Amino acid sequence: GSNILSVDQFDIDSIQTIFAIADRMQPYARRQKRTKVLDGAILGNLFFEPSTRTRVSFGTAFNLLGGEVRETTGMESSALAKGESLYDTARVLSSYSDVIAMRHPKSGAVAEFAEGSRVPVINGGDGANEHPTQALLDLYTIKKELAYHGHGVDGMHICMMGDLKFGRTVHSLSRLLAMYKDIRFTLISPRELAMPDSVLDVLAKAGHRVTITDQVSGSSDADIVYQTRIQQERFTTPQEADLYRGKFRLNSEIYTKHYKPNTVIMHPLPRDSRAEANELDNDLNQNPNLAIFRQADNGVLIRMALFALTLGVAEQVEKYECDVNW
């Protein structure tokens, strides 16, 4: 097995392989079947930045394959707080684990950690850089949602909105989508929070159509609207984030005005539910196009598939099935 650090290491074929394995994980995620294929294996789940979905779904995915999870959460509760290097931490923890999932506030920190690790390392988010497993679950969700409406990823139109500068999920997802054909991107953000040039270059090189705007607009032919949170933790001061919070909202009224009735609504979550932010309003909760919780559910399937591949057991999952006793 090898590290999963960036979406750049995938191509259309490897994405298809991951998604086919994710499809096979459904009965285990639904608790209709059990497998012990990773019996005896240990996941080191290291989260040096807050997380709900990524941390818990990595752990759940590993448990559902029969493995055990050891967790470290928060910089202050690890020896990094005493000045230990990422390299030393990796050398030590990789002898306690068979695979490591890691989140860190600094761009490139997970790759730095992987240098010292003797077991595969999976990036659960490194600063504003990348969140490759989120991009895979987002793309898996997009494929399923669009298939429901009778079309595929090639030729689709996606609006990405909010903090496109610091939002690592839109960086990874854009790079992944760039591998497909003729995608239209409408990038809606304050000018100061625009998509980085490094990502725009990838889209331009692949010949995709990109529209950049700082108006809360939309597009009546968008297939997907992907909303993001203002990433307050990446700003120099909280006051700076206040300048942008609440300005790029999506609610029922704005959705109905700017989008067609079956535009799929996505958000990596967490959505900031405070009144001054509220970038994705609860008044859309009953809208059948709201895919945010289907995204989160798909995270377990994708992470199960990635563990099965990384640990070389993808073909043995069914062979180690056992009884469900409860």
Task: Give the Cα-Cα-Cα angle 11, 94, 107 (nearest 5 degrees).
Answer: 55
Among 43, 53, 142, 162, binds ligand CP (CB under 6 A): 53
Residue 229 contacts ligand CP per CB under 6 A:
no
Q: Rule CB under 6 A: is residue 269 a binding residue for ligand CP?
A: yes
Q: Say if strands 34-35 and 321-322 run parallel, antiparallel, or are unpaired.
A: antiparallel
- Binding to ligand CP (CB under 6 A) within 80-139 occurs at 125, 134
Backbone angles phi, psi at 176, to 5 degrees: -70, -45
- Minimum CB separation of residue 129 from ligand CP in Å reads 13
Beta carbon nearer to ligand CP, 132 or 268: 268
| Minimum distance of ligand CP from residue 270's CB (angstroms) | 5
Does 175 bind ligand CP (CB under 6 A)? Our answer is no
* Of 73 and 252, CB closest to ligand CP: 73
CB of 90 closer than 8 Å to CB of 96:
no
CB 194 within 8 A of CB 187: yes
Q: Shortest Cβ distance from residue 290 to ligand CP (Å)?
A: 15
By CB under 6 A, name the one of 268, 277, 309, 314 that touches ligand CP. 268
Does 51 help bind ligand CP (rule: CB under 6 A)?
yes
Q: What are phi and psi for residue 81, nearest 5 degrees?
A: -65, -20
Give residue number: closest CB to ligand CP. Answer: 54
To 5 degrees, how large is the angle CA 256–CA 270–CA 286? 35
Per CB under 6 A, the segment of 26-34, 158-166, 213-221, 266-274 that binds ligand CP is 266-274
Asked if 298 touches ligand CP (CB under 6 A), the answer is no
Q: Whose Cβ is closer to ligand CP: residue 37's or residue 301's?
A: 301
Among 111, 26, 113, smallest CA distance to 61 is for: 26
Q: Which stretch binds ligand CP (CB under 6 A): 51-59, 82-90, 112-120, 274-282?
A: 51-59
Is 270 a binder of ligand CP (CB under 6 A)?
yes
Contact criterion met (CB below 8 Å) for 159 and 219: yes
Query: Which residue blocks in the chain are alpha helix, DSSP H?
Result: 12-24, 26-29, 53-64, 86-93, 109-116, 132-148, 168-177, 197-205, 238-242, 252-258, 292-310
Q: How far is the CB of 53 from ligand CP (least distance, A)?
A: 4
Q: Are 120 and 310 in contact (CB under 8 A)?
A: yes
Q: Would you count residue 155 as binding ligand CP (CB under 6 A)?
A: no
Shorter beta-carbon distance to ligand CP: residue 45 or 189: 45
Strands 42-47 and 99-104 turn out to be parallel
Cβ proximity to ligand CP: between 52 and 285 the closer is 52
Q: Choose which of 35, 45, 54, 289 interacts with ligand CP (CB under 6 A).
A: 54
Say whether residue 238 binds ligand CP (CB under 6 A). Answer: no
* 52 touches ligand CP by CB under 6 A: yes
**Residue 177: what residue type?**
L
The residues that touch ligand CP, with contacts defined as CB under 6 A, are: 51-55, 125, 134, 268-270
